[in-house]
């Protein structure tokens, strides 16, 4: 009997490029038919064939409370009666701005947008307008959205499809982007010594999550901070993924580094399309309508998205929230590591906050090059076996995973049981 997932995918291929609206959803990296989901609740999702899965993707990070959290749903239902959008200021926008400035000390002013790409694109433009410079630095394997200047050796979907750069990006645009190796302080110091006064901004994922989870080495982020301060460049932390996912004070609080600008997304929208960028008042005042750098959006600060985000940000401030989240994530990766070691499967894992990385390699990677040395065939085999067992991990070895507050010991234990069945039969 042909599954409804398969039938829907075949129909989608006729009308949607690749059958999906975001490339990594196509299962190109792991093979097979993408899953079409119809419902989510807590730590679980159900596909169109009514099969349930324990979900470790969480819509790629936003659902830190789990699917359909009652407080978020109630807030949205109450607000939606008043209308979907106004294209005009609302009180909720101010409440969100006030809360973000309170929770993230480096942010003195903030602007709301509708996607992470929009946030990073706008932050780059703002940095160029503020400094009067054109060059930017990014790091190989880091993904900052699909804006032209940032699709140079990008991570995430671009790596999954085997194309580290994108067609359609002109040489004129890409020439303004300098790509360095993540975690390489010496390389950053060398480029700054040569062209430091031409560099408008350094944009970095303080914890990389789009080439799998790669943590910053000691002093890497502080070195970037020092270089940007010395040469008058803007340090941008792309916390679209890490913001409120690794802790209440985000990655910048975790590592005690103060960026000039921060981009946020995912968690702050509570599952709705919303993002933001903010930072020093002096820099933010360069934005229109008070400054010369233009940025706008019809649906920016959408009241329904803001409502979902406010409900989520209120919940994560509950005492003990992050301790439970961190404990659950650590139990998952410790359990998987122990099982793999028991059956002599080359495997390693790490977690930071509610994010985790799985690597079919005995060494935890610290750069894009080291990530590519992991065994993708073993990951793909593991992914499909776990999927068959009702466990949904990201369909790419280049993606971080996510645990939510809805994942209890029951879900973690079931995940480990399925993994043990798989690894116990692993061909050596």
Give the span between the Cα atoms of 145 and 363, in whole angstroms.
28
* 326 neighbors 153 (Cβ within 8 angstroms): no
Instruction: Considering the candidates 44, 53, 56, 143, report the single residue annotated as catalytic.
Output: 143
Helix (H) or strand (E) holding 130: helix 116-131
Backbone angles phi, psi at 216, to 5 degrees: -70, 140
Helix (H) or strand (E) holding 136: strand 135-139
Q: Which residues lie below 8 Å from residue 290, measured CB to CB, with a gap of 6+?
A: none
Q: What is the CA radius of gyration of the chain?
A: 21
For this structure, is 409 an active site residue?
Answer: no
Q: Which residues lie below 8 Å from residue 311, measured CB to CB, with a gap of 6+?
A: 69, 71, 72, 74, 75, 76, 270
For this structure, is 343 an active site residue?
Answer: no
Pairing of strands 275-279, 401-402: unpaired
Instruction: Considering the candidates 138, 153, 266, 331, report the single residue annotated as catalytic.
Output: 266
Q: What sign for the dihedral angle of Cα 303, 305, 309, 311? A: positive
Tokens linked to 361: 């390699």
Helix (H) or strand (E) holding 131: helix 116-131
User: Which residue, among 96, 42, 67, has the nearest Cα to 264 in the 3D structure?
Assistant: 96
Tokens linked to 271: 């599952």
Q: CA neighbours within 13 Å on the CB side: how many for 160?
A: 25
For this structure, is 230 an active site residue?
Answer: no
Give the span between the Cα atoms of 152 and 362, in whole angstroms.
29
Backbone angles phi, psi at 406, to 5 degrees: -80, -10
Residues catalogued as catalytic: 143, 238, 266
């Amino acid at each position: 009997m042909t599954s409804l997932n398969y039938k829907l995918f075949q129909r989608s291929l006729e009308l949607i490029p690749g059958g999906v609206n975001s490339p990594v959803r196509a299962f190109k990296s792991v093979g097979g038919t993408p899953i079409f989901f119809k419902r989510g609740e807590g730590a679980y999702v159900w596909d169109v064939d009514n099969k349930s899965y324990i979900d470790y993707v969480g819509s790629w990070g936003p659902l830190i409370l789990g699917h359909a959290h009652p407080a978020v749903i109630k807030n949205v239902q109450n607000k939606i009666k008043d209308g979907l959008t106004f294209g005009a200021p609302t009180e909720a926008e101010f409440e969100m701005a006030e809360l973000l400035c309170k929770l993230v000390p480096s942010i003195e002013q903030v602007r709301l947008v509708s996607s992470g790409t929009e946030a990073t694109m706008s932050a780059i433009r703002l940095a160029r307008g503020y400094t009067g410079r054109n060059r930017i630095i990014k790091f190989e394997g880091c993904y900052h959205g699909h804006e032209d200047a940032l699709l140079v050796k990008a991570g995430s979907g671009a790596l999954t499809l085997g194309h580290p750069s994108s067609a359609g990006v002109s040489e004129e645009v890409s020439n303004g982007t300098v790509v360095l190796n993540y975690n390489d302080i010496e390389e950053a110091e060398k480029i700054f010594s040569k062209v430091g006064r031409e560099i408008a901004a350094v944009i970095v994922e303080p914890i990389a999550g789009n080439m799998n989870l790669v943590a910053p080495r000691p002093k890497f982020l502080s070195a970037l901070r020092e270089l940007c301060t010395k040469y008058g460049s803007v340090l941008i932390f792309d916390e679209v993924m890490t913001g409120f996912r690794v802790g209440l004070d985000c990655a910048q609080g975790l590592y005690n580094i103060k960026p000039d600008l921060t981009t946020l997304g995912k968690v702050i929208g509570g599952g709705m399309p919303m993002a933001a960028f903010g930072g020093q008042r002096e820099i933010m005042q360069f934005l229109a309508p008070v400054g010369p750098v233009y940025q706008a959006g019809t649906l920016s600060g959408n009241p329904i998205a803001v409502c979902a985000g406010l409900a989520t940000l209120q919940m994560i401030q509950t005492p003990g929230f992050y301790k439970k989240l961190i404990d659950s994530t650590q139990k998952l990766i410790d359990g998987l590591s122990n099982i793999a070691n028991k059956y002599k499967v080359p495997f390693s894992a790490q977690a930071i906050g509610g994010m985790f990385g799985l690597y079919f390699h005995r060494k935890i990677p610290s750069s894009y090059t080291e990530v590519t040395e992991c065994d993708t065939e073993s990951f793909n085999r593991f992914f499909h076996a776990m999927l068959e067992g009702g466990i949904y991990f990201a369909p790419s070895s280049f993606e971080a995973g996510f645990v939510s507050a809805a994942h209890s010991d029951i879900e973690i234990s079931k995940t480990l049981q399925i993994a043990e069945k798989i690894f116990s039969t692993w061909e050596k």
